[in-house]
Amino acid sequence: MKVLIVDDNEKNRKLLCSLLTFRNVEVVEAKTGQDALGLVTPQIAFCVVDIRLPDIDGYEVARQIKKRYPQMPLIACTASVLAEEKKKLETAGLFDAVVLKPIDLKIFNEVVDVLLKAQGEKAESGAGAESSKASPPDTHAPRICKGLKILVVEDNPVNQRLLEFLLAKLGCQMESAGNGKVAVEKVSAGHYDLILMDLQMPVMSGCEAARIIRDTIDKTIPIIAVTAAAMKEDERECLASGMNDFISKPVDLQQLTEKIALWGGRKGESRAPAIATSKADQTSITRQRALRELGITEEMYDELIGIFIQQSEQTLVDLASAVARKDFQDIKRAAHYVKGSAGNLRLDEVHDVAQEIEQLAAAGQGLETILRKSRDLVVLLDMVKGHRGKGER
């Protein structure tokens, strides 16, 4: 599968290329709009287009691509958060998703996961089928799935559309909510058999919405978390907020079917709750341990974290390049760098994943596992970036 990256900034372009390389995707690079138009072909699964290019802007590139290939998904990248730019992106109707710069690794990964999954579904169902047409219910879907009314709480329109497609195959009815606050309002006003809840959303998070629903509206409706970060603290936080189960991203039809068949029509049941430790609590524990063991101030620790984040971005590029070349020695070297720095900073999860990659590379085997662990590493590093400077004051 090929993906076209269009960005004149080499650092941004190489970072995006590295993230895609971890998915075994062949990346085609373009520095200008004209170069991109010369490289786009029917074999391109989707394009990532910077809005500001040195020759023609991203809007014109997108228009030209859509003229040739109307069904080709496009992701816009922009550093602008101005209201005028947001409105222009929305009214243009050219892009399937928008990612802000500096690139949020978690959001970019989620968008890419969904598009790659959608391309896989499209290939299986036959090329040329219109993506806007609803898929007929799957005659092999468990009977308990059919007719269920499901609320999908998700702020990403690409994710929403994919879930709509998959739920239609199962014969389910779907309504959507763009954030936790809207979800609370919808559950308060109507009846649903099950809720699929994203965790990271604007306005109100999935966990906060689940707590409100459990405390004030419905104590028994099954709530399934949809999460890209399969980590123990996420599971504990979800269970503590009242959710029943988990689906990991990227979502596929099989796991969705299994979870809906398990929980559809069931009320009042939940997995055994664990003692909850929220992300914020865990981050504070990590910081306090580091400050205690290293004997440094919070300001010094934040400075070290900043250096680590900056250097890790280049290391991810190096790691992706090494994986693409199947160069186990360079993979080992990149992972060893991350492991050492993370260990010194008491970032245990980052350290452990990097160590696993290093050990696999040292053995000269497990390239698929290295790819998967590299994706985990990207998510963990983005979490470190997001929590920088958020210690207790």
Q: If 0-12 CB within 10 Å is exposed, 13-18 middle and 19+ buried, where does residue 293 land?
A: exposed
Segment 326-344 mean pLDDT: 88
Average pLDDT, the chain: 80
* Tokens of residue 371, six digits: 């790819």
Lowest mean pLDDT among 93-97, 170-174, 356-360, 380-384: 380-384
Segment 357-367 mean pLDDT: 89
Q: What is the pLDDT of residue 223?
A: 94
Q: What percent of the chain has pLDDT over 90?
A: 26
Is the pTM higher than 0.75? The answer reads no
Rounded CA Rg of the chain: 22
Q: What is the pLDDT of residue 233?
A: 64
- Within 8 A by CB and 6+ apart from 391, the residues are 283, 284, 287, 288, 298, 301, 302
What CA–CA distances, in Å, run from 291 to 126, 183, 265, 296, 380? Answer: 57, 40, 49, 5, 20
Higher pLDDT, 298 or 145: 298
Q: What is the pLDDT of residue 190?
A: 87
Amino acid symbol at 189: A
Lowest mean pLDDT among 15-19, 179-183, 328-332, 361-365: 15-19
Across 7-16, 53-62, 73-82, 264-273, the highest mean pLDDT is recorded for: 53-62
Chain centroid, CA 162 distance in Å: 14
Lowest mean pLDDT among 46-50, 94-98, 106-110, 269-273: 269-273
pLDDT at position 269 over 50: no
Q: What is the pLDDT of residue 39?
A: 95
Residue 80: pLDDT band by 50, 70, 90 thresholds? Answer: low
Which DSSP category does 322 fall into? H
Q: What is the pLDDT of residue 134?
A: 42
Q: What is the pLDDT of residue 213?
A: 94
**Domains of the chain and CATH, by start:** 2-125 (3.40.50.2300), 143-263 (3.40.50.2300), 280-386 (1.20.120.160)
Segment 133-145 mean pLDDT: 50
pLDDT tens digit sequence for 190-232 = 889 999 999 888 899 999 999 999 989 988 899 999 876 555 5
Q: Give the span between the Cα atoms of 1 and 379, in whole angstroms.
A: 23
pLDDT at position 387 over 70: no
H or E, element range at 124: helix 105-125
H or E, element range at 279: helix 279-294
Alpha helix positions (H), 170-278 = 180-189, 206-212, 232-241, 253-263
